[in-house]
Amino acid sequence: MSKQTATASTIESTATTPTLMLALELGEASWKLGFSSAFGQAPLVRDIGSRNRKALLAQIAWAKKQLGLPANGRVVSCYEAGREGFWLHRFLVAEGVENLIVDSSSIEVPQKRRRAKTDRLDLAGLCDLLARHLAGSAKRVWSIVRVPSEGEEDRRHLHRELKTSKQDRTRVSNRIKSLLANNGLTIASWKDVGEQLRKLSLWDGRPLPAALRSRLARYASDYRYYSDRIRLLEAERRDMLSQELRQPGTQGVAVAKAAQLYSLRGVGINTAWLYSMEFFSWRTFRNTKEVGSLAGLTPTPRDSGKRYREQGIGKDGSRHIRGSAIELAWGWLRFQPESELSQWYQRRFGSGSKRIRKIGIVALARKEAVDRAVALRRNGRDPGRSCVENGPATPLAKPRDQRSTTRKENREGIVDSASGAGGSQCRRVSSPTPPVRLGRPLPGLSVAHGAQGLLCSTQ
């Protein structure tokens, strides 16, 4: 019998249930399977071709016969999270196998400076840990990955492809700049790279060498390809969010939560989309500690005897969420200076040194992520500590000369939240309580549309 919780899966075991324990070591060319039926038993090791589903089921039937288990007996399997993703888990579950996907970084290993490591040793270790897990070890054996549904996994492709495309475009642009710098050249802008490269010449007026010119032309073509791809992905994301703001509930829960987050001033479309698709739309947190832990923002004290040292944040969660949380915290101080969390930060860290303020921004990021989780879980009717109820503000475009120079405004008319400018400024509304500033809605939408489904309810 299996039981799944919010962030992990646990399997309840009884001593009277005959169970076949299966550990898989997944490789690109072949898979190693380890079978056992009792704690401390040496595993039976078998090799099959990678991704061979029929061979896997045949080996499970063979192991049951070898170990004297009934043909319809219970099977519990595990494997380390990796490039195989979740398809194997879904296949095993469909075949009646109780499967666990294990976070490899949570597995205990000897602390020797040099230790033997082979696939066979790893397989024996996994079998032993699985037996301890089923026996109900008082000490946590490992961390188990929470498996999303196919729809939840599919929704993450858009922003991940967008991020990868931006990285690829940056790689190409850096290569172009390096080649030009080698010849004492530069270009004025990236709007028409190919035309500018064709007009360049060496320092003495001679044209660029033929091989260099051909190479730069190919890089310019790659740059245009990635730029067009980024524009298409951003347009697709913008259309989905605009449709949700016009007709709430038509794009699903994930896009609805992204729209709620985007409606807050200081939260841009990139951060709102990332928070929703990777964090809040498909995870159900049991407590606030899980929010900070999954973001990798929890402290790691080292307290032993008379020695105490804080080692910094754990960094054991999503690096994408962690980076966005830190950037959003800096933006929150700028665009929500009167909120309770901003005032708390200023009282405790505002007068400190640069190092102290950086330490405080991590605490602010953790608190802000917790507040967003609480507000979204309550469907936006309890704004949390960082928000208070307040009506929509009047849009006011930010003067161009005061815009942040750390990140340029993107092509879709929305400021990237990574620069701390996740939306245009709004006129301040005088209020006896710290107000929440509302960001400008997407282009083509009125303030009324942009205020639908806000985290801060005015009812």
3-state secondary structure of 21: strand
With a pLDDT cut of 90, the percent of the chain lying above it is 44
Average pLDDT, the chain: 79
- pTM beyond 0.85: the answer is no
Beta-bridged to residue 76, according to DSSP, are 21, 98
User: What mean pLDDT is predicted for residues 191-216?
Assistant: 92
Q: What is the pLDDT of residues 318-369, one digit of tens each?
A: 788 888 899 999 999 999 898 999 999 999 998 889 999 999 999 999 888 8
The reported pLDDT for the residue numbered 163 is: 93
The reported pLDDT for the residue numbered 457 is: 32
Contacts of 327 (CB under 8 A, 6+ apart): 271, 417, 418, 419, 420
Confidence check: pLDDT of 254 > 60: yes
| Structure tokens, 56 | 């896997």
The reported pLDDT for the residue numbered 408 is: 38
Phi-psi sector, 205: left (phi>0), alpha (psi -120 to 50), beta:
left
Distance spanning both ends of the chain, measured CA to CA: 45
Query: Residue 311's pLDDT band (boundaries 50, 70, 90)?
Result: confident
Beta-bridged to residue 301, according to DSSP, are 310
Confidence check: pLDDT of 59 > 60: yes
User: What mean pLDDT is predicted for residues 41-68?
Assistant: 94
Strands 74-80 and 98-102: parallel
User: What mean pLDDT is predicted for residues 172-192?
Assistant: 93
What one-letter code names the amino acid at 224? R
User: Alpha-carbon distance 456 to 361, whole Å?
Assistant: 23
Instruction: Name which of 374, 366, 286, 317 is nearest 145 in CA terms.
Output: 317
Residue whose entry in the numeric block shows the structure tokens 């939840």? 152
User: What mean pLDDT is predicted for residues 385-407?
Assistant: 37
Q: What is the pLDDT of residues 131-157, one digit of tens each?
A: 999 988 878 889 899 899 998 899 999
User: What mean pLDDT is predicted for residues 416-427?
Assistant: 35
Contacts of 380 (CB under 8 A, 6+ apart): 260, 453, 454, 455, 456, 457
List, in order of start, the domains of the chain with CATH numbers: 2-147 (3.30.420), 153-246 (1.10.287), 253-450 (no CATH)
| Secondary structure letter of residue 280 according to DSSP | I
62-76, 101-115, 352-366: the lowest-pLDDT one: 101-115
C-beta neighbour count of 119 within 10 angstroms: 16
Confidence check: pLDDT of 190 > 70: yes
Dihedral angle over CA of 316, 321, 323, 324, nearest 10: -160
